[in-house]
Structure 1
Amino acid sequence: MENEDADHRPGWGRTCSHGCLLPLRIIITLMGFFALICAYTNRVSLSHVITKLVIPINRTATNGKAGEDVCPKEEEPKNDKGYNNEGTYEWSEELQGLVLGSFYVGYLLTHLPGGVLADKFGAKWILGICIFISGLTTAFSPLALEYGAEWGLMAIRIIMGAAQGPVFPALTTLLSYWVPAKERGSLGTFCYSGVTAGTVISNLCSGFMLHFYHWSVTLYVFGNVAVIWFIIFIFLCSSAPKTHPCIKPKEMAYLQEKIPEKTGKLPIPWKKMLLSKALLAVIISQMGHDWGYFVMISCLPKYMADVLQFSIRSNGIVTSFPFLAMWCSTLFCGFLADWLIRTGKMSRILERKLFTFIAAFFPGLFMVTASYAGCNKTLVVIFFTLSLFTMGPYFAGQKLTPLDMSPSYSGTLMALTNGLGSIAGLLSPPIVGVMTPNATLNEWRGVFWLAFAILVSSAIVFWIWGTAEIQSYDPNSSAQKD
């Protein structure tokens, strides 16, 4: 039953006595976590599927044996009856890069409109519909490929990217209404860790499904799971506490106390935002991180398949290890960040900068080191695992700064930073394709050196100009009130 006396603050008064088993902010965080899992399984699965769509490169090594640039091929066990997913498309490395990168064409275009709409009208339906469309386009990808070949696949991937563009801005807006600042490191980081969890699930499940079933099954499964998530989400979640039909008075009072009240649909202060050095630093840092991360999620399966020549099932397993390590690191760093700030051992600004730098320097270093491990598959997997493990602090660093800088316009800020960061996703697969026409170890080594340089230089920019302080253009800042 609704409790009308629970609160007298305008816009905050809708409560019920029975509530839910879990606090609603936990449920919102969990559904955001699963939303990103759906988004990334939809996005990443093609990186595995494409290894079975394309006729593999003829690996005849110099003098008939494996040399520095050609690793011995891993054969499937003879008694292991897998599905015969033989490649049928003669796509060059450059064309494969264009197919993988086409997603980011649409992704780049819809970030800003999605963020603005989420800030002005609420995030629930924007987030929900975007994941729903992403699921549909994933499930229809085999049909697009059948009737349109590479152009049909690229077209539907552009639509998928456009659907996923507003996801991060909408999710950030949702968290700004439901997650207090002191829980931002743990709950916010857990929510964003769905990116890594989705990549783990995609890599692991894709490997097994591609081994035992036709490649289209992988896309059907991930697409339909996203549709199921949408149905559950629209019944469980709302854009803000005040619009949820079933929130306990105790949680309502807690959220009122800890989260500044939104002042309404104010005009967005574009000029102040865009002329801010802090925003520029966040954008550059996002682009640098995304370059390194997108190289890994889009191209690591191809590196393992084309260079180290793992079998498809082994490829799925070994590419899941690094992302599983990153997921564990992300969760630990989220709680560590909250503890460091809460106990006064580190300021919020220093924590955000230090974690961002760690998550750039060491991942780049270990990527390069992996390329010098040659065909020692165990060492390569260890170094890639260390690379992504040390990238885990990123989500408790720079990724939280749009929420820190302006809770009122967090969706718009996330749209600007994540949207422009997606330029790295648009450019990296085609550039990697151009740099690796023969998919050799030496060619890939140049890719990892480039990623190292971009990661570190972008983190240095964030260290100099980045901030976690609420900005003067936010209605709740002290400067604005003065």
Structure 2
Amino acid sequence: MSDPQDDSGPSSGAGDREILTSPDVHESPNVAGHTEGQSEPTPSTGQGCSCYIPRRYIMIGMICMGMTIIHAIRVNLAVTVITLLDIKAHEKLGTIEAISNLPTDIWDPSMAGIMHSMFYIGFFCTHIPGGFLSKHVPCHRLFGGCILISSSLNLLIPVAISNMGYKFTLAIRFCQGLSEGPLFPSCYGLLRQWTTPQERGRLGSTVLTGAYAGAVIGFPVAGFITHYIGWQYVYHVTSGVAILWYIIWLFGAHERPSHHPSISNEELTMIEKRQGATVIEYENEKIPWASIFTSLPVISLCVCNIARNFVFILMLTNEPYYLNAFNYSIAENGMLSSIPHILMTVVAFSSGYIADCLMKDNMLNATVVRKLLTCGGFGVEAICFFVLGFQRVGKVVMIFLSLGIGFSGLTVSGWQINHYDLAARYASILVSLSSALGTLGAIASPLVAGHITNAGDKDLIFCWHIVFFITSGVLAFAVIFYAIFGSGEPQPWSEPPPGLKLVQKNDPMARKPYVPYLQTVPLTTLNPDKDSGGVDADRKSYGATAATENAKGYGLETSEKKGLTAT
């Protein structure tokens, strides 16, 4: 097919890109690929209804619930471990039934550390593949599948501990980790589709808060059930809730707004208009891997993820064991273990509003806000863990533990949402990379804690002081690195390079009629001295040397070499 003509229609408004329709279509498409001027279909529900609930809020709520449930499942073993490590565990239970149901195996702290780390070894193996899958598999199916498989495997853990032995339990934990690897990449993929830049801070922090809320619910529930009923029932209850959530998710979740059968035209139009072209997927677009791997802002996210996972997983897996040194009952232990996470959940949820307020009316730019929240959250946490290295009184320990873990919630709207600032188009890829490397911290912290606290006749609390000094150092390094290299600005590789023709992927699931179109990235940035008449000349040629070189560096072939046409 010949090159597109100059009368191909007005631009879409998506930045400086021009949208060129197929010769069969004379109207210009909007940013979502829908033809302007077409009659809007009447939605099946919501239009003109005062009780209409925005479908993006429903989706965000369901994602948040899924994150809460799966993280509540993760702390099941942390409470069970107390009954496996403490030979006096029977003295800390509340009923004869609970005492009679105690597991018969006896582990040492090193065995517990390996058990916790085995989950994150599996988690590490599927994290980067999970980012790839999130670009090729519907993210809502991937997200729900992670939770369904992990919760099903969770039902096998009591059987494995009681009857199959330590090695079989290790294998199940490894498989659980494998199943949850794509969880965060698929979650960020859903956020990309269902949030707008104006709401991303609030809605993103709401979803990520669900991960922290899991400990708030999981610790007291596991402690209560273990204390009064029996440790194995913890797994039955949490897995049952997860499977029930999945059934609801299966029928109520949709990958993107245009796939939702009951979303109103007003909400769909608002989302598409605010998102612009950042959510459009292209057939011949390739990921700029080299630029991503060498980007210092991306590396700073990886460092923060390592620090966050080192501390967060240390608390998820070992906090009940640490507090057990102060002779609390199992029920008290579960309740006290949740208090720091309650504060963190509140702070994390509030951080989205704090970030949005600070960036409102350009009061502060994204870079300053991300650094302020990240360095402030990690900085206070580092100080509190350093102080914990000198404490031996349970009440004082709870104060500093709560303050440190609580203030870390600020980082949710700091580095954790920063992936969208750097490259919204590749947010799932950035998350898979940073989280995969961050998993190294999750693997290391249980091993370090297990090795150091395997004290024998040594003072157990003193051993924990050593662990906390190491933790404080890890956090301090992250603060310094992110303060120097962190950024909130879109990176040069965050959008396709000039001079490329990008053919939009066919989306047969979209509710509205699909119109294929060709998007061309003009060369005005490479030829700033040309007037508007020169742009047309560039648009017809597609073969400028500068564009070709840029495309090669990006990992794409030029349109002439690919032989793409506007079909």
Q: Tell me the residue number matched to 1:102.
A: 118
Match of 2:353 in 1: 335
Q: Aligned partners of 1:158 and 1:14: how far apart in 2?
A: 48
Where does residue 33 of structure 1 map in the other structure? 64
Between 26-35 and 119-128, the greater mean CA deviation after superposition: 119-128
Q: What is the letter of the counterpart of residue 119 of structure 1? A: K
Kept in 2: contact 1:51–1:87 (CA 8 A): no
Post-superposition offset of 1:436: 1.1
Within the candidate set 488, 502, 509, 1:468 is matched to 488
1:3-43 deviation digits (Å, cap 9, x = unpaired): xx9x8665458771513832111111111111111221121
Query: Structure 1: which amino acid aligns with 2:489?
Result: E
Moved more, 381-390 or 442-451: 381-390
Structure 1 residue ranges, 4+ long, deviating more than 6 angstroms after superposition = 476-481
> SS of the counterpart of 1:451?
helix
Distance 1:214 1:420, change over 3 A: same
Q: After superposition, give the CA deviation of every residue in 1:59-100 in whole Å (9 maximum; x if it has no partner).
A: xxxxxxxxxxxxxx99668xx767215452221111110011
Per the TM alignment, residue 353 of structure 1 is displaced from its structure 2 partner at its CA by: 0.8
2:149 is the alignment partner of 1:133: yes
Query: 2:103, 2:162 within 8 Å by CA — same for their partners in 1?
Result: no
Bigger Cα Rg: 2
Compare relative contact order (CA 8 Å, sep 6+) and give the higher one, 1 or 2. Answer: 1
Instruction: Classify 1:152/1:15 alpha carbon distance in 2 versus 1 (closer, same or farther; 3 Å).
Output: farther
Q: Which deviates further from its counterpart, 13-22 or 176-185?
A: 13-22
Structure 1 unaligned residues grouped into runs of 5+: 59-72
Matched-pair contact (CA < 8 Å) for 1:182–1:342: no
Partner of 1:442: 462
Q: Is the 8 A contact 2:120 2:442 kept in 1?
A: yes
Which among 369, 390, 405 is matched to residue 351 of structure 1?
Answer: 369
Instruction: Name the residue aligned to 2:45.
Output: 18
CA distance in 2, matches of 1:478, 1:392: 39
Q: Residue 393 of structure 1: which of 390, 394, 410 is its match? A: 410
The 2-side partners of 1:372 and 1:402 are apart by 37
Shift of 1:309: 2.1
Q: Which residue of 2 aligns with 1:456?
A: 476
CA distance in 2, matches of 1:334, 1:423: 27
Q: Is 1:404–2:424 an aligned residue pair?
A: no
Q: Aligned partner of 2:66: which letter?
A: A
TM-score, normalised to structure 1, is 0.90
Secondary structure at the aligned position of 2:165 is classed as helix
Give the structure-2-normalised TM-score.
0.77
- Cα distance in 1 for partners of 2:401, 2:375 equals 18
Q: Could you list the per-position Cα deviations for residues 327-362 of structure 1 after superposition, in whole angstroms to 9, with x for gaps in the alignment? A: 011111111111111133221111111111112111
Indicate conservation of the 8 Å contact 2:31/2:276, yes or no: no
Aligned residues: 459
Q: Could you say if the C-alpha distance between residues 310 and 441 of structure 1 is closer, same or farther in structure 2, counting changes exceeding 3 Å?
A: same
Identify the match of residue 155 of structure 1 among 156, 171, 182. Answer: 171
Q: CA RMSD in A?
A: 2.3
Report which stretch shifted further, 37-46 or 16-25.
Answer: 16-25
In the alignment, which residue of structure 1 is the partner of 2:323? 304
Listed as ranges, the matches of 1:210-225 within 5 Å are: 210-225=226-241
Name the CA distance, whole Å, in 1 between partners of 2:42 and 2:156: 41
Partner of 2:511: none
Identify the residue that residue 84 of structure 2 maps to in structure 1.
53
User: Does 2:285 align with 1:285?
Assistant: no
User: What is the alpha-carbon distance in structure 1 between the residues aligned to residue 140 and residue 192 of structure 2?
Assistant: 13
Conserved? CA contact 1:124–1:239, under 8 Å: yes
Provide the rounded CA distance (Å) in 1 between the counterparts of 2:475 and 2:358.
25
Letter in 1 for 2:234: T
Identity %: 26
For 1:102, what is the secondary structure of its paired residue? helix
Taking the aligned partners of 2:352 and 2:362, their CA distance within structure 1 comes to: 16
Query: Which residue matches 1:62?
Result: none
Q: Deviation digits for residues 370-414 of structure 1, max 9, x if unmatched?
A: 34221x221111111111111110101000011221111111110
